[in-house]
Amino acid sequence: MTNTIDQNNEKREATLVRQAQEGSKEAFCELYGLYKDRLYRYALYRLGDPDQAEDAVSDCVLAAWKDLGRLRTPSAFGGWIFRILHNICAGMIRKEIAGRENLNRYYEQTQTQEGSSPLFSIELAEALAHLNDDERSVVLLSVVSGMTSKEISDITGLTPGAARSKLSRSLAKMRSFLS
């Protein structure tokens, strides 16, 4: 039954992609609605700053709308849009090496604010900070964004086996830090 639901969702998504490619803004908005939370979480954990995460997602969505006609396989939309976001985040990190300072400021802000958002776990962010950029990216693509090793390999350029191996080692490194 779950398989049938998944297939129906994939068919609906592919239909929305085709409609958006034909110029339907409504279909593209519906696609955005399906991905917005995962895109934001990925960008937030990758960049460590809520404002930068919003900017990255905004840039990603604009780029996706602009280049949607280049997407040849509608069923590949999820991996394609995350690849765009991955590249935008990487560019932002390259431009702002001081990203760790922004993360530290966000830690300080969340520690001093009452009722801070549970969306961003300080402990998780600290564990992620102990990973190198490639390890962090694989963990976020898998755990936060729910991507498969094949999708991760398409985005990062790793083989699916290397993506699974890097994910396993990275998660072990994080568990070691958190214990």
pLDDT tens-digit series, residues 12-57: 889 999 999 999 999 999 999 999 999 999 999 999 889 999 999 9
Q: Residues with Cβ < 8 Å from 144, sequence gap 6 or more? A: 38, 41, 42, 45
What is the structure's pLDDT at 108?
58
CATH no. of 1-120: 1.10.1740.10
CA 27 to the chain's CA centroid: 21
pLDDT band, residue 94 (cuts 50/70/90): confident
Query: What is the 3-state secondary structure of 101-149?
Result: HHHHHHHHHHHHCCCCCCCCCHHHHHHHHCCCHHHHHHHHHHHHCCCCH
Report CA-CA distances (Å) from 114 to 60, 103, 119. Answer: 32, 18, 14
Q: What is the pLDDT of residue 99?
A: 41
Averaged pLDDT, 66-71: 92
Write the pLDDT tens digit of every residue in 133-163: 889 889 888 887 888 888 898 889 999 889 9
Q: How many Å apart are CA 82 and CA 89, to the nearest integer?
A: 10
Q: What is the pLDDT, as a whole number, of residue 31?
A: 94
pLDDT of residue 5: 53
Tell which wins on pLDDT, 101 or 6: 6
Report pLDDT for 98: 44
CA distances (Å), origin 38, targets 95, 124, 130, 175: 24, 16, 22, 23
What pLDDT does residue 113 have? 52
**Where do the CATH 1.10.10.10 domains begin and end in the chain?**
121-179
pLDDT at 4 over 60: no
Q: What is the C-alpha to C-alpha distance for residues 109 and 60, in angstroms, rounded to an integer?
A: 27
CATH of domain 121-179: 1.10.10.10
Angle at 16 between CA 138 and CA 47, to 5 degrees: 30
State pLDDT tens for residues 110-137. 555 555 444 456 777 788 888 888 898 8
- Indicate where the chain has its CATH 1.10.1740.10 domain(s): 1-120
